[in-house]
C-alpha cells in the first residue's frame, strides 16, 4: 500500500509491504524491516533494523502525535489515491469499502441495512499493530458486509458495500 506521511514540514512517500510476520516499509526509496507490538493504551514497541523503540501514538484530529522519550511529532497520513476516488466520477453506484492495508477485522460498527452518513465509522481494521477506523465515503445504506470480526484481510480487499 502506498501512502504519504507528513511529519513537521516534510512529506514522505511510504510503501508498506508484508513479508512473513514483518513489514517492509519503503520511505522515499529507503527500505526498513519493521516489527511492532502494542503494549498498553497508546504505547507500542517498534523494532526497526534490530533497534527497539518505545513510542506512544495518540490520535489527534486528522493525525497522530507520536512521542519517543521527550520528543513529540505530529504525523498525518494520506492515501494519494483517495483524492482521485473522492474527486472521481459521481457516486451514483455502489461504493466498495476496502482495506487499505493487510490486517485483521477488529470490529464491525454497522449492520446490513443500516443507513450511514458520509464520514461515519463503519469498520475497524488492525494493521501494523494499530487500530484504524474506516469510514463511509458517502451516505447510503449498507448493502452487504463481506467479513466478520477476526477475519484477516488483504490490501484492497472488499469489506462491505454501501448503496
Q: What CATH number is given to the structural domain containing 131?
A: 2.40.50.100
Q: How many helices (H) and strands (E) does the chain have?
A: 1, 16
Are 74 and 9 in a shared domain?
Answer: yes
pLDDT given at position 89: 44
Q: Is residue 17 part of a domain?
A: yes
pLDDT given at position 46: 87
Alpha-carbon 119 to chain mean position: 15
Asked whether 100 and 1 are in contact (CB, 8 A), the reply is yes
Are 7 and 72 in a shared domain?
Answer: yes
pLDDT band at 83 (very low <50, low <70, confident <90, very high): very low
Highest mean pLDDT among 58-67, 97-106, 136-145: 136-145
* Mean pLDDT along residues 4-32: 82
Are 108 and 55 in a shared domain?
Answer: no
Kindly tell me if the per-residue pLDDT of 88 is higher than 50. no
Q: Is residue 85 part of a domain?
A: no
Query: Nearest CA to 57 among 139, 46, 2, 137?
Result: 46
Structural domain containing residue 16:
2-78
pLDDT given at position 147: 95
pLDDT given at position 144: 95
Residue of higher predicted confidence among 105 and 89:
105
Domain boundary among 78, 106, 141: 78
Q: Tell me the CATH number at 44.
A: 3.30.700.30
Are 6 and 67 in a shared domain?
Answer: yes
Q: Is residue 127 part of a domain?
A: yes
Grid coordinates representing 25? 516499509
Grid coordinates representing 130? 494499530
Q: Is residue 116 part of a domain?
A: yes
Query: Nearest CA to 85 among 76, 95, 99?
Result: 95
Residue of higher predicted confidence among 82 and 114:
114
Query: Residue 104: is it exposed, middle or buried by C-beta count within 10 angstroms (0-12/13-18/19+)?
Result: middle
Rounded to 5°, the CA angle 115-1-34 comes to 120
Are 109 and 73 in a shared domain?
Answer: no
Q: Is residue 84 part of a domain?
A: no
Q: Is residue 113 part of a domain?
A: yes
Query: Nearest CA to 106 among 158, 153, 149, 145?
Result: 149
Task: Note the pTM of the prediction, 2 decimals.
Answer: 0.49
pLDDT band at 141 (very low <50, low <70, confident <90, very high): very high
Domain count, the chain: 2
Are 13 and 69 in a shared domain?
Answer: yes
Amino acid at each position: 500500500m502506498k501512502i504519504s506521511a507528513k511529519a513537521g514540514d516534510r512529506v514522505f512517500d511510504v510503501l508498506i509491504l508484508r513479508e512473513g510476520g514483518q513489514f517492509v516499509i519503503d520511505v522515499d526509496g529507503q527500505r526498513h524491516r519493521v516489527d511492532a507490538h502494542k503494549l498498553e493504551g497508546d504505547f507500542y514497541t517498534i523494532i526497526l533494523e534490530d533497534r527497539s523503540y518505545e513510542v506512544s501514538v495518540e490520535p489527534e484530529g486528522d493525525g497522530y502525535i507520536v512521542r519517543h522519550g521527550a520528543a513529540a511529532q505530529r504525523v498525518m497520513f494520506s492515501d494519494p489515491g483517495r483524492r482521485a476516488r473522492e474527486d472521481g466520477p459521481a457516486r451514483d453506484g455502489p461504493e466498495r469499502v476496502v482495506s487499505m492495508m493487510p490486517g485483521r477485522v477488529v470490529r464491525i460498527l454497522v449492520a446490513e441495512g443500516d443507513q450511514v452518513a458520509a464520514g461515519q465509522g463503519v469498520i475497524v481494521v488492525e494493521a501494523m499493530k494499530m487500530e484504524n477506523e474506516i469510514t463511509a465515503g458517502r451516505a447510503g445504506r449498507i448493502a452487504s458486509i463481506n467479513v466478520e470480526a477476526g477475519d484477516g484481510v488483504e490490501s484492497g480487499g472488499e469489506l462491505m458495500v454501501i448503496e
